[in-house]
Amino acid sequence: MPKFNDLRGYIELLKKSDELVEISAPVNTHLEITEITDRISKAPGNQNKALLFTNVHGPNGEKYDMPVLINAMGSHNRMMLALGVERYEEIQKRIEFFIKPDIPSNFWEKIQMLPKLAELNKFLPRDHKGPAPCQEVVITDPSQPMLDAVPVITCWPDDGGPFMTYPCVFVKDPATGERNVGMYRMQKYDNTTTGMHWHKHHDGNRIYENARRLGKDRVEVAAAFGCAPHIIYSATAPLPPGIDEMILAGFLHSDPVKMVKCKTIDNEVPATAELVVEGYVLLDELRWEGPFGDHTGYYSLADDFPVLHVTAITHRKNPIYQTTIVGKPPQEDCYLGKATERIFLPLLKLFISEIVDMNLPWEGVFHNCVILSIDKRYPGHAKKVMSSVWGFGQMMFSKYVIVVDKHVNVHDLSQVAWHVFNNTDPKRDMMFADGPMDILDHATPLWAYGSKVGVDATKKWPTEGFDRDWPDEIEMDSDTRAKVDARWQEYFGKTPVMAR
Catalytically active residues are 294
Cis amide prior to 496 (ω within 30 degrees): no
By the 8 A CB rule, do 151 and 226 touch?
no
Of 340, 301, 237, nearest to 440 (Cα)?
301
Among 51, 6, 3, residue whose Cα is nearest residue 270: 6
Give the β-pairing of 126-127 and 258-261.
parallel
Using DSSP bridges, classify how beta strands 292-293 and 27-28 pair: parallel, antiparallel or unpaired: unpaired
The whole-angstrom separation of Cα 126 and Cα 259 is 6
Q: Is the Cβ–Cβ distance between 310 and 279 less than 8 Å? A: yes
Question: Could you give phi then psi for residue 384, rounded to 5 degrees?
Answer: -65, -40
Strand spans (E) along 56-99: 56-57, 68-70
Cα 117 to chain centroid, rounded: 28
C-alpha closest to that of 197 among 211, 188, 185, 209: 185
Give the C-alpha separation, 75 to 79, whole Å. Answer: 6
Cβ burial of 90 (10 Å; 0-12, 13-18, 19+) is middle
128 neighbors 271 (Cβ within 8 angstroms):
yes
Among candidate residues 136, 150, 137, 4, the one with its CA nearest the CA of residue 72: 4
Burial class (CB in 10 A: 0-12, 13-18, 19+), 50: buried
CA angle 431, 437, 439 (to 5 degrees): 160
Write the DSSP assignment of 337-385 as a string of letters: HHHHHHHTHHHHHHHSTTEEEEE--GGGTTTSEEEEEE---STTHHHHH
- DSSP secondary structure letters along 93-117: HHHHHHHS-----SHHHHHHHHHHH
Cα–Cα distance measured from residue 237 to residue 243, given in angstroms and rounded to the nearest whole number = 11
User: With b meaning 16 or more CB within 10 Å and e meaning fewer, what string describes 281-300?
Assistant: bebeeeeebbbbbbbbebbb
Other CB atoms within a 10 A radius of the CB of residue 434 amount to 10
